[in-house]
Amino acid sequence: MSNIPQIILASKSPRRQELLRLMDVDFRVVLKEVDESYPEDLSPEEVAVYIASKKAEAFDESIGDEVVLTADTIVCVDGLILGKPSTAEHAIEMLKMLSGKVHKVITGVCLLHKRHYNKFFDVSEVFFRKLSDDEITSYVNEYMPLDKAGSYGIQERIGLIGIEKINGSYTNVVGLPTEKLYQQLKNL
């Protein structure tokens, strides 16, 4: 994608970086610390976009013609928003909540270019089969998914053995809705 300005990816996620590489997007990673708290009265979709926007706001004064790309992925099950787990025990608890259920993966994205905030989100439904306690515990112990919303990576063993189907974008579940992102970047 040579017709767009340089992208600053404000994410340490190796999954988002790999997706951009696969899209042939030229980018560099710049990280800034951001408080990811949010007002309690927001819908899950609004939460994801709100946090992505907060991440972009940290760059508002410091960029030139570059495009800042920020994203935030959350998992929502039974009306609860699951972010990243704080401990292995918390990860196990989250996966037990997801086991045998359908949940939503929501990624909010913000593109900041010339002080204009382009915000959007994508939602995918993920159908998990019933997982055994041993499957959950061994996955958490081996993969330590503390950097993943909902405590799992769809591209890892738990996704390969536990996800029966998804409705929506696979890349959204990985952490970046590339289909929507591509269209938004073309429109810059």
Cβ-contact 28, 53 below 8 angstroms? no
Out of 35, 72, 133, 147, pick the active-site residue. 72
Give the pair of three-digit tokens for residue 105: 């993966």
Burial of 188 (0-12, 13-18, 19+ CB in 10 A): middle
> Counting every residue, how long is the chain?
188
Give the pair of three-digit tokens for residue 82: 């699951």
Active site residue 26: no
Intra-chain end-to-end CA distance of the chain, in Å: 12
Q: How far is CA 170 from CA 105, 125, 167, 174, in A?
A: 10, 10, 8, 7
- Tell me phi and psi for residue 25, to 5 degrees: -95, 130
What residues act catalytically? 72
